[in-house]
Structure 1
Amino acid sequence: MLDNTIQITEDVLASKNMRFVNYIIDLVAQYAIIYSLAYLFFYIGEFTGYYGLADFWNGLSNIEDYIVSYTIMFIYFFLMEAFTFRTLGKYVTKTKVVLDDGQDPTYQDVLKRSFCRMIPFDALSFLGTIGKGWHDSISSTYVVDIGRFEAKKKSFSELDQIGVSQDI
């Protein structure tokens, strides 16, 4: 195990409850971004006298609304997970995204994961026994409980050190 990888097993995975809390917190964060943009566009109009952005925002059709919402969702998840491997929900529940070998995901992995979130009914994919979503399966990523993951990683590291001579 000298390459510092571990096999992800069910004992380190985030529970369904943690994943649900992640979902709710991240959904609230996305709504906060959307409402913040609406207020920003309104206040830009108040200060400049040009209400074009606010009128555009308030006049979105259903299709345009979906496009804007999914774009914000994609940007939120991609930026958060690409740079910190966590979202606001994952910070609260002390979970993070890792690859199937325990390493941090690359930008391409996070990009694939973020695109897969746009699959219709992706949220329903958590109803299975393990509670692994399609965006996890397709991108070969896992959401792990950081405490249990780090403990397992440490135990594997300590096992690697057995029989290794240490120069004094």
Structure 2
Amino acid sequence: MKNKKFTITENVLASQGQRFLNLIIDLVFIYILILSVGTTIVLIAEATNNFAVSSWVENMNLVEIIAYGLLILFLYYFLTEVYFSRTLAKLVTRTIVVTSDGSKPTIKMIFIRTLSRFIVFEGLSYLGSISRGWHDSLSGTYVVKKKRLAKSKRFFNNPEEFGKAE
């Protein structure tokens, strides 16, 4: 009977409201990061008398701005989810990215998850009843409520512990 394996159930999944809040908070952090990195590059360039770099950053065309923004977006999601299994927004909403058995995703899974965010209509994938986007489905990951996941895993591993009076 000990051969059973823990799997994510719907009751631990983050709600659509939490997922939407994650998106809004992450976009604010990413916007701040984009401005901060750009400003830092300009300040360092001017401090080192490298006015060509400073001028280039200040006069980027639309394609360069989009490429720069997408690079920051990719690095933000990839690095935070590889190292912490969560972005800053997920930290605020107390959610976390996990695999189907509740463990930390592999680097490959996070890479696929991050690339999948760039699918053109990926945002529409949340219109269904289950709060999983294409970047979740394609990478085999789930965004769950961290405390509820921990409680479910404890119950799965020690069901008799939950039947006792406290």
TM-score above 0.5? yes
Q: Which amino acid aligns with 2:98?
A: V
**Structure 1 residues 4 and 56: alpha-carbon distance in aligned structure 2, compared to 1, 3 A threshold:** farther
Distance 1:4 1:76 in 2: 36
Query: Unpaired runs of 5+ in structure 2?
Result: 162-166
Cα offset, 1:71, TM superposition: 1.1
The answer for the alignment partner of 1:110 in structure 2 is 110
Distance 1:5 1:78, change over 3 A: farther
CA distance in 1, matches of 2:10, 2:98: 13
- How much has 1:67 moved relative to structure 2? 1.5
What is the alpha-carbon distance in structure 2 between the residues aligned to residue 60 and residue 107 of structure 1? 32
**Residue equivalent to 2:164:** none
TM-score, with normalisation over the residues of structure 2?
0.88
Match of 1:156 in 2: 156
Question: What are the equivalent positions in structure 2 for 1:12-161 lying under 5 Å apart?
Answer: 12-159=12-159
The 1:55/1:2 distance shift into structure 2, 3 A limit, reads farther
| CA RMSD, 1 decimal | 1.9
What percentage of aligned pairs have identical amino acids? 40
TM-score normalised by L of structure 1: 0.87
Task: Spell out, residue by residue over 1:22-49, the C-alpha distance to the aligned partner (whole angstroms, 9 max, x if none).
Answer: 1111111111111012211232244233
The gaps in structure 1 that reach 5 residues or longer are 162-168
Cα distance in 2 for residues equivalent to 1:55 and 1:9: 53
**Helix, strand or coil for the counterpart of 1:96?**
strand
Count of residue pairs brought into register by the alignment: 161
